[in-house]
Structure 1
Amino acid sequence: MESAADLSHVVARRLDSAPDEFGAVASWPGKPFPLGASWDGEGTNFSVWSPTATRAEVCLFDSTGAEHRARLVEQSFHIWHGYLPGINPGQRYGYRLDGPYNPSTGLRHNRHKLLIDPYARAIEGDFIDNDAVYGDNELDSAPYVPRSVVVVDSFPWGNDPRPNRPWDDTIIYELHVKGFTARHPDIPADLRGTYAGLAHPAVISYLKDLGVTAVELLPIHQFVSEPALQRRGAKNYWGYNSIGFFAPHAAYATHTGRLGGNQVREFKAMVRAMHTAGIEVILDVVYNHTGEATPDGPTLSFRGIDNAAYYRVDPADPSRYLDYTGCGNTLDVRTPAVLQLVMDSLRYWVTEMHVDGFRFDLASALARSLHDVDKLSSFFDTIHQDPVISQVKLIAEPWDIGDGGYQVGEFPPLWTEWNGKYRDTVRDFWAHGAGGVRDLAFRLTGSSDLYADDGRSPFASINFVTAHDGFTLRDLASYERKHNEANGENNRDGTDDNRSINFGVEGETADEGVNTLRLRQVRNLLTTLLVSTGVPMLVAGDERYRTQGGNNNAYVQDNEISWIDWSDTEAGADLLALTRRLIALRKQSPVLRRHAFFEGRPLPGGDGCKDLAWFHASGRELHDGDWFDTALRTIGMYLDGQGLRHRGPRGNVITDESYLLVLHSGDEPVRFLLPGRPWAEQYESVIDTTEVSGTAVSTVAAGTQLLVQARSVLLLRAVRV
């Protein structure tokens, strides 16, 4: 980067411009596109959109922190732009935009506030809470605001082997870049908690051995910690507080990688390592709000550029925001320039950073027209017609906190959804047997009641039992109440709707009987998830019996509460082995990952078997009354694979296996009569959750009354002789 003397020379003499009354020299005109900072080999073009500003300056910071200003002299299409020769990659910069400050009309310009470039490819430094970042005062905010960094996106991708996994071959693994690597003993200490740590061979080997096909990274867009957290000595760990939609979070780079924009290169190297291993990278993205929070929050970027355009202000009182996110503001993607920002960001992460898809946090907030969620909104239309973004994996969190925001099953084709109804139903069944089995049957088979009517497939359903927010699998079987005291909010934060069970003891216990039941319960949940039709999502550490001590909202816990514990335990080894077996079984069995919904009808040219059949413990098929029996806690699901044929490794045609899945959430054993012809003549045990690692080795004749233990799952392979 240039020294202080060099910068003075560049922005004054080389431009042949004397400083004006504000100490800024005039830039060369430059050009309006592309937005952001663009280096051409000789200098950098700066471009920022703001139709309401009356003056725009780019502020350059040298190695001593001294600031040098250049006025952007041209405005085209509401875009302020200028060119500065001699400004090279690694240069730290920001904007100052002058204009009216009138909150009653939604305008909040203040030239004393340094602003992050919305299009910055890298951001350096932390936001520090201080009076200077607030309101209409004349305090200079520069010492407390991160710097944007000029970046060149060259990277030796080579022939990057993008996996391009089809949905039916996808198994998602949600993880946190820092939390997954912070305690890993095989990762060098200086790489732990970083993109480079995630690319380490020890991590890649673990993911491959586990069998997952995609990592879904908690937010890695540059984010900031909320002022309220900073004031109590805490920080935002999860990252759902974005301030830079193009910039990989600098704190996840190595110490040297955090300087001069090198975090971009480290992120790309991580993606390349994942792709080489056949693993896709999906980003959890937060376009619904920003880290500027409420109207009286810090001015860091968008608020000072054009507040009323970037945010959804209340038409009745533009000094207030419409908040559908619970985070203080809602980004207004109805504004064409804001929609362009989101689309440009998405396209950048696909084309330049090579990511394979996105999970959209609080996606309903992006689709609100006025107050209602509009499935035909410009956001969806623009995504669907985009030749780049429409071709990657699109996952919606289909809700926000506003009225009518719960939209599970309502997103348009091309989209998949986090299926919150799957989570709730499976938890209810295994915790307390609530509601019988009617809703469970839909969830096990791809949720046709949610997705079949609009032409989507079972893979529209992203099935999950746990996610980053909420209990871990272990805690679902150990706690019935949240224990979030460590968060500093008097246990008021986090949901009370946990749908969990503690088996008579709240929290950890030395009671072997209780611990045996808890481990079996987790095996039940894992097995249910990985044999359900749809796309399964696991949360990192659940396969190792991870606990958060009953904390169901660990967003501020950047410590051992959230970090994965890599120490070996018997329970962890048990679940890890089971998870690997279930994933391998799923990959081998097309009937467990169907492209189309089951029809519950006999197969053409078959022997009378239906593609899907439901059985009572007495051995008969379920009748209408059974579906409304809320006390029913045992169900058998027969999946017929006769009609599904695929090519084996030698090109030979293989007929898929058929399975009988028996789920019993009752507290006492039950006898289950195994159905005979035409379903099967005998059954081979594949998974038995009463056994260590779910291992099962037995063959049972059809017509046998099989004893199914309390709270257990049996997966049996149907054999026709």
Structure 2
Amino acid sequence: MTATIAGDAVAFSVRSPRADAVWLCLFDEDGGEGRIPMQRDGDDWRVTVPGIGEGARYGLRADGPPPFDVAKLLVDPAAVTLDRPFAYDPLLGIVGQDTAALVPRAVVTAPLPALDLPPLFEPGGVIYELNVRGFTMRHPDVPAAQRGTIAALAHPAVIAHLRHIGVDAVELMPIVAWIDERHLPPLGLSNAWGYNPVVPMALDPRLAPGGIAELRATVAALRAAGIGVILDLVFNHTGESDLLGPTLSLRGLDDAAYARAPDGTLINDAGTGNTLDFANPAVRRLFLASLRHFVTQAGVDGFRFDLATVLARGPGFDAAAPVFAEIAADPLLARRVMIAEPWDTGPGGYQLGAFPDGWLEWNDRFRDDVRRFWRGDGGAGALATRLAGSSDVFGAHRTRSVNFVAAHDGFTLADTVRYAERRNHANGEDNRDGHHGEVCWISADPHADARALLATLFASRGTILLCAGDEFGRTQRGNNNAYAQDNDVTWIDWTGRDRDLEAFVARLSALRRDASVLRTAAFRHDLGWFSLDGTPLDDADWACAPGFVMVLDDVRVTVDRAARLVTIADGRRASPR
């Protein structure tokens, strides 16, 4: 739907191909609801309402064959502003139960002047993944009223920290309006990560009380400091979940947006109850409109897509899926950074290396092979392949790898070397949730192992991702699936941080910036590989090598497992120990 201001009137339109009737619901300041019938125009429904303008609050109701339910107030799938956050209530999923008192209203919003800024971020740089709320909730320099919001990221103290550790772009975990999974409220928990969105363009009012203008101002402040912004978007499913879930938006207007098996059951390739159907052109149009919205209205550099294999399903994964061509053909989007989490939970869902040329991909094989080497049960050959850009995954021309040793999903870096198994009891699922086979260990010297992991990351070729707080020893007390911990488990402790480790990361980042050959994408076949005593390594040596030296131009990376040490030298400088 769009709500377009036209003089002293607003023109509304919404797609609902199978509806028999659709009403625009306008709300006054006291919450009173007025219903205006909309007129069918093919698959769309339209109405123009005179005498209203920016700030008008509205929703929708639709009637027709099941699953239509006229009792449900529906949120415009293309809304850009909501007047309140979503809050889960069991009544949202009960047929015939009126939900006007439970659902946010969309707000008519005039667009800001359009932007078309070139991306600041270039592949090979340092991406810093952060949770907007948890990142500043305990920051002592950020005013209390601003903590936990997008605006807080523009605070000088926050920007100074990002610059200190050499961040090239921040990757914001989901910031669009989400709803709690239905099992969380009875446990006294709430979604802390935002990976359960309802509508793709409306910012969550808890994170952005100033709306899109707040995001735009923050992006501008970060850009002025030389830092780009990448948004983590969730288009694999919506928070309407399975058939027992709430009816909030698409389910009540265009249920064909969700993928279904031949027997009519919902396909669940996202593991969340439903999967958006990217074989449906209408879904792709909403997707592309959402990307353009954040580029033109906020000036972001690009996007990371959660469970991105879903984007190319129809139903099976197709590397030539229409969505890729549509992005490439869009002059506004073709220049943006596109990053895939290249897997989902469906059949054939693991697609690392299969996304189009030009897309970056999260490389979990880098994470696992690096961790195994430092745990002591991984080989030097596997580590060398990851350091050099994972040519076994990304082919012979260039690496598209996003290298990481820890991310939001899984143990923090500090917890990786301090726990042998997950401790997720606080999530209320008897420690059954989260990855049970994560590569981790109780280190005899966790400080040395953490530094070795970080130095390996910064010495690797390709783009690297650092999870917020890992640069100073953030812990989640062994919880490797802290999505439901909107508390001090996920709120970063700024006063108790390890400043020595933070300084170590800052020096690594500066050294990586100088060693530009590590940041270039093109694979090089003239790397030199040597043993720790300086003799060339041949194929037979890798199986038992305790370490190695990688030489590329003037850069030497030395990996010594026995000393728990990685050093980088670029001919002029050596990395910190």
TM above 0.5, yes or no, is: yes
5 Å-filtered alignment, 1:620-699, equals 620-627=535-542, 629=543, 631-640=544-553, 658-666=554-562
- CA deviation string 1:127-161 (max 9, x = no partner): 343343224x322111111211111122698xx97
Look up the match of 1:77.
42
Look up the match of 2:306.
361
Look up the match of 1:555.
483
Look up the match of 2:137.
182
Conserved in 2, the CA contact under 8 Å of 1:343 and 1:383?
Answer: yes
Q: Given the alignment, which residue of 229, 236, 250 partners 1:288?
A: 236
Conserved in 1, the CA contact under 8 Å of 2:119 and 2:302?
Answer: no
5 Å-filtered alignment, 1:144-183, equals 144-154=102-112, 164-168=120-124, 170-183=125-138
Q: Which amino acid aligns with 1:583?
A: S
Q: Which amino acid aligns with 1:638?
A: V
Cα deviation for residue 78 of structure 1 reads 0.7
Cα deviation for residue 400 of structure 1 reads 0.4
Conserved in 1, the CA contact under 8 Å of 2:303 and 2:337?
Answer: yes
Look up the match of 1:64.
30
Distance 1:437 1:305 in 2: 55
Q: Given the alignment, which residue of 458, 468, 476 partners 1:540?
A: 468
Look up the match of 1:233.
188
Q: Given the alignment, which residue of 53, 71, 88 partners 1:112?
A: 71
Conserved in 2, the CA contact under 8 Å of 1:399 and 1:405?
Answer: yes
2:272 paired with 1:327? yes
Look up the match of 1:441.
384
Conserved in 1, the CA contact under 8 Å of 2:85 and 2:178?
Answer: no
Q: Which amino acid aligns with 2:383?
A: L
Look up the match of 1:574.
500
Q: Given the alignment, which residue of 537, 543, 565 partners 1:712?
A: 565
Conserved in 1, the CA contact under 8 Å of 2:531 and 2:545?
Answer: no
Conserved in 1, the CA contact under 8 Å of 2:118 and 2:335?
Answer: no
Cα deviation for residue 213 of structure 1 reads 0.9
Q: Indicate the SS of the match to 1:97.
A: strand
Distance 2:278 2:326 in 1: 11
Look up the match of 2:326.
382
Change (3 A) 1:156 1:97: closer
Larger strand proportion of the pair:
1
Distance 2:503 2:114 in 1: 37
Distance 2:89 2:71 in 1: 14
Conserved in 2, the CA contact under 8 Å of 1:75 and 1:81?
Answer: yes
Please tell me whether Structure 1 or Structure 2 has the larger radius of gyration of its CA atoms: 1
Cα deviation for residue 568 of structure 1 reads 4.5
2:273 paired with 1:273? no
Change (3 A) 1:57 1:161: closer
Cα deviation for residue 269 of structure 1 reads 1.3
User: Structure 1: which 5+ residue stretches go unaligned?
Assistant: 1-34, 102-107, 504-513, 601-611, 641-657, 667-708
Q: Given the alignment, which residue of 481, 498, 501 partners 2:438?
A: 498
Look up the match of 1:617.
532
2:202 paired with 1:247? yes
Look up the match of 2:575.
none
Q: Given the alignment, which residue of 462, 465, 471 partners 2:405?
A: 465
Q: Indicate the SS of the match to 1:395.
A: strand
Cα deviation for residue 718 of structure 1 reads 4.8
Change (3 A) 1:365 1:595: closer
Total equivalences in the alignment? 572
Conserved in 2, the CA contact under 8 Å of 1:109 and 1:306?
Answer: no
2:14 paired with 1:99? no
Kindly indicate whether structure 1 or structure 2 has the higher relative contact order, using CA contacts under 8 Å at least 6 residues apart.
2
Conserved in 1, the CA contact under 8 Å of 2:278 and 2:310?
Answer: no
2:426 paired with 1:486? yes
Q: What is the TM-score normalised by the length of structure 2?
A: 0.96
Distance 1:222 1:109 in 2: 23
Q: Which amino acid aligns with 1:579?
A: V
Q: Given the alignment, which residue of 255, 258, 273 partners 1:311?
A: 258
Change (3 A) 1:184 1:537: same
Distance 2:52 2:235 in 1: 30
Change (3 A) 1:633 1:404: farther
2:170 paired with 1:219? no
- CA deviation string 1:274-296 (max 9, x = no partner): 11111111000000100000012
- CA deviation string 1:653-699 (max 9, x = no partner): xxxxx132221223xxxxxxxxxxxxxxxxxxxxxxxxxxxxxxxxx
- CA deviation string 1:414-468 (max 9, x = no partner): 211001111111111111232x122211110111121124x5x22x111111000
Cα RMSD, aligned residues only? 1.7
Conserved in 1, the CA contact under 8 Å of 2:177 and 2:202?
Answer: yes
Conserved in 2, the CA contact under 8 Å of 1:162 and 1:275?
Answer: no
